[in-house]
Amino acid sequence: MTDLVKLLQAKMPLAAWIIDVEQSSVPCCNEAAEALLIGSLSDIKSGQRVVRDELRERLSLHLASLEIGDSLPFKWPFTSEYGVDYLVRGSVIALDAARKGLCVEAHPVSPDDVVAVSPDDVTVVSPDDSLMEHHAGLLAQFRSLSFAIFDQHGAFIEASDYFVAHFGAIQHVRDLFAVSGAANSFIRRLAHKESLFQEIRLATQNGIRWHKIEVSYHPLTKMIYLLTHDIQEERDHEVALYRLNNYDGLTNLPNRNLLYHQLESALINARKRHRQFGLLYLDLDGFKVINDNFGHRVGDELIQRVAERIKDSIPSGACLYRLGGDEFVVVLENTHSIVELENIADSIMQNASNTYPVAKMEMMITASIGIASYPQHADNVDNLLKNADAAMYRAKSMGHNMCFVYQNSMADNIDAYLTLGGGLRKAIEEEQFILHYQPKMALPDERVVGAEALIRWVHPELGMISPDQFIPLAEESGLILPLGEWVIRRACRQLQEWRKAGYPDIKLSVNLSSRQFMQADLVDMVERVLEETGVDSKYFELELTESMLMVDAQQSIEKLHSFRKLGLTLSIDDFGTGYSSLAYLKKFPIQTLKIDRSFIHDLGLDSDNDAIVKATIAMANSLNLKVIAEGVENRAQVDVLNKYHCQEVQGYLFSKPLSSDDFLAFLESSRAVV
């Protein structure tokens, strides 16, 4: 079977089409024929033009006696809707199923060229066409198309009205090209009398636009015929579709598709050249809280600001991708050590120190980051991503704004982490949780004056599980709200049980998670629990982190004042690790600062830490705030804190978190005084 499309394209710039005589149809034609035959053929049926019965019968009589490749023994005249005369010639070609068809082409002529026409087998005698008449016929044929004629050196001869309107006045074919290099290449190919079919950018009256061009050289006329078709809208559609499939619509970052493409390419390159590459897997901490409380519009704007800041935090050779939701991946090729990836993570975490201006609010959000590298941690793309994800979950389970490099043991940890997630809801329903209490000691006489309530999960199969392992899961799933209410209610009941048992009143503190703090009815819930349990609010304290308060500082201030109206004590936990400004510290109605254990650890050994702790205590005293130092583990630390006039301490030097019974035993042995 003949390649019909290739055959018809070779006939350009002449109008040519295929006639399937048996089916009485025209299955295909070239662009010149589309322009010439418009309106001259019958209705379209199933995508194919119908041939009139009269013409079909005439052609059938001759087709039976001819072989493949033979020409019809006659030509017939045809006049276009613009009044231009043509002679139509045909030759026999092979169609599918061993059938015969015709390939016909129309040659423009002037009216004087038609000498005689017989009524049966039409015979036409034509003298040689003049060159200008031939050109005139072609231009009339291409009136609705962008068609031009050039001499063999590329000088402009004539063009259709459409071509002139589209490209303007030109002197040479090189005037069409937006880039001189493309023009030179085109002219070199013309010198070889080559036919061309390609897509290229051309300079038009409306700027530089993509075109599909067909060029043929006529050996008799020694002319170059150029047909152009503007495909800029098609290209724009293709680009838009490509971006839709490969880029994130919110941040304009490349998405998961392009991530896999780069990782596969990086893997091939690394294997070939024995190089390394690595990635950072980022998941924002507490983003669901913001989405749930401020709405997706605010969440989307925050994602945009985060993406911009991460891009500013990574080196120029690294690529940032958004996987969706609050997950991002940074890829760095040709690394020499894990340290390079850790440095990028440090830069990202340090830049989280500034708030994000979103919806007329100052918001703060951090990220948990997991790192994995080829070939140390995986030998294929899927495992590399999976292991970086496992390292990220490890970072998230240890707290916010942390980074971990993948270790083999993490594969088991992630399975356990996900297993815990499945049992968390059931654990809340069955109350598989208990509270432990870590004593708070007053200085300098080291009296027990309070305790911090810390939740523990007593899993029926895994035993005691620390909050670091399940609190992040509870926050992500939203189960932190019922779990947090259980902690507050159980702590208040414990205070009442101790009071009824005759023990002296002490102050009991409870930690709030960021998700809890954003809960709309949090104040009402706490007030209701206090009333139900009968606890005096002055013995109940809420501990909050700086980061939590700075998500929306103004709303935090209003909520804190509501708590103060209930008579609760408010404390900022882990002070020094967040990013609250002193200006906001003055506005927050708090009574206590807890200095983070990271500053206490090297107290007395590190002059910088000493200076920070001393300044913090002095500042708090000037603001009439009580200071508690957490993480106290040795006497040297107590001595320094006493010297700096720290009021209270908490840590393993005095006691680890204890069950209720053990705490009471510790309380009695210490002869607590309120």
Instruction: Tell me the one-letter amino acid at 623.
Output: L
Place of tokens 């031009």: 148
Average pLDDT over residues 35-59: 67
Concatenating the DSSP letter of every residue in 391-414 gives HHHHHHHH-SS-EEE--TTHHHHH
Structural tokens at position 641: 């804190």
**What are residue 434's DSSP bridge partners?**
456
- The class level of CATH for 250-408 reads alpha beta
In which band, very low, low, confident or very high, does the pLDDT at 434 lie, cut at 50, 70 and 90?
very high
Average pLDDT over residues 566-582: 75
Structural tokens at position 644: 């700096």
Q: Which tops the pLDDT comparison, 31 or 375?
A: 375
318 in Cβ contact with 364 (< 8 Å) = no
This model's pTM is above 0.75: no
Helix (H, G, I), strand (E, B) or coil at 177: strand
Domain boundaries, the chain: 4-128, 145-236, 250-408, 418-670
13 in Cβ contact with 227 (< 8 Å) = yes
In which band, very low, low, confident or very high, does the pLDDT at 655 lie, cut at 50, 70 and 90?
very high
Q: Which of 78-87, 107-116, 354-363, 411-420 has the highest mean pLDDT?
A: 354-363
Contacts 24+ apart (CB under 8 A), 218-221: 219/193, 221/131, 221/134
For residue 73, say if its preceding peptide bond is cis, omega within 30 degrees of 0.
Answer: no
Determine what percent of the chain is predicted with pLDDT higher than 70: 88
Average pLDDT over residues 140-149: 73
In which band, very low, low, confident or very high, does the pLDDT at 126 lie, cut at 50, 70 and 90?
very low
User: Is 401 buried (19+), middle (13-18) or exposed (0-12) by CB count in 10 A?
Assistant: buried
CA-based R_g, the chain, Å: 41
Q: Kindly report, residue by residue over 302-346, the tens digit of the pLDDT.
A: 999 999 999 999 998 899 999 988 999 999 999 999 999 999 999
When mean pLDDT is compared across 226-230, 332-336, 381-385, 599-603, the lowest value belongs to 599-603
Q: Kindly report, residue by residue over 250-286, the tens digit of the pLDDT.
A: 999 999 999 999 999 999 999 999 999 999 999 998 7
Place of tokens 């004042």: 561
When mean pLDDT is compared across 8-17, 51-60, 336-345, the lowest value belongs to 51-60
CATH number of 145-236: 3.30.450.20
In which band, very low, low, confident or very high, does the pLDDT at 653 lie, cut at 50, 70 and 90?
very high
Pick the CATH number of 418-670 from 3.20.20.450, 3.40.630.10, 3.20.190.10, 3.30.360.10: 3.20.20.450
Query: How far are the Cα atoms of 64, 176, 547, 578 from residue 287, in angstroms, in the given order?
Result: 78, 54, 13, 17
Mean of the per-residue pLDDT values for the chain? 84
What's the CA gap between 671 and 649, in Å, rounded? Answer: 17
pLDDT of residue 513: 85
Determine what percent of the chain is predicted with pLDDT higher than 90: 40
Q: Kindly report, residue by residue over 173-204, the tens digit of the pLDDT.
A: 989 988 888 888 888 887 777 678 888 899 99
The yes-or-no answer to whether 4-128 and 145-236 have a common fold is yes
pLDDT of residue 129: 44
Q: Does residue 2 register a pLDDT over 70? A: no
CA neighbor of 483 nearest in space, from 471, 496, 466: 471
Q: Does residue 32 register a pLDDT over 90? A: no
Pick the CATH number of 4-128 from 3.30.70.380, 1.20.950.20, 3.30.450.20, 3.40.50.970: 3.30.450.20
What's the CA gap between 348 and 370, in Å, rounded? Answer: 12
What's the CA gap between 355 and 306, in Å, rounded? Answer: 10
In which band, very low, low, confident or very high, does the pLDDT at 582 lie, cut at 50, 70 and 90?
low
What's the CA gap between 149 and 131, in Å, rounded? Answer: 12
pLDDT of residue 421: 60
The phi and psi torsions of 17 (rounded to 5 degrees) equal -150, 165
In which band, very low, low, confident or very high, does the pLDDT at 124 lie, cut at 50, 70 and 90?
very low
**What are residue 101's DSSP bridge partners?**
93
Place of tokens 């390939």: 103
Residues 6+ apart with CB under 8 A from 185: none
Q: Kindly report, residue by residue over 586-632, the tens digit of the pLDDT.
A: 788 999 999 888 889 888 787 777 888 999 899 888 888 999 999 99
